[in-house]
Amino acid sequence: IDYDYQGDSPKEEDTSSSQEACPSVPKTFSQSACQQSQCKTDQDCNNNKHKRCCFNGCIYTCTQPIDEPALIDWRVAPRRIVKSAPYWLIRDPETPEQYQSCSTSKVLDDGDPLLCPDGYVCHIVTPENHEQNIPNRGWCVKEKDDRNHSKYMTN
């Protein structure tokens, strides 16, 4: 029986680790790559159990496998370009996702205040430092709705 993929024979014993993979095919290769001994399956590389039948850019040959890299999902904080902007443009990487950064400090003429959306107020966490020209910082918290209190109810 002829199998479509290298090493997919059902009677083949898998001696390689599932974490091992063939190295990527080089963009350029030497003529000697085409003159190496050929293989059809990983079983053909049994004389050296640490090799796999991989494509080298010219032919399938017994090759030293590589460990597959671990999958890492990096969270990259965007670089801040402006010092002040509408609240949805500036994120604070130290602040939990459910909070929006805000400030009540006066901004320069060409800047926009870092305000909270409608229905929220700025709860200041870090006070302003006038000497070092550092604005205060806080988080937007939901404003209390006084309309639900009994003093506003009519009979």
Q: Does residue 123 contact residue 139 with C-beta atoms inside 8 Å?
A: yes
Phi-psi region of 57 (alpha: psi -120 to 50; beta: other; left: phi over 0): left
The overall longest dimension of the chain from CA atoms, in Å, is 97
Q: Does residue 142 contact residue 98 with C-beta atoms inside 8 Å?
A: no
Q: Which pLDDT score, from 0 to 100, does residue 12 have?
A: 44
Q: Which pLDDT score, from 0 to 100, does residue 15 have?
A: 45
pTM for this entry = 0.34
Give pLDDT tens digits for 14-47: 444 455 788 888 777 788 888 888 999 888 887 7
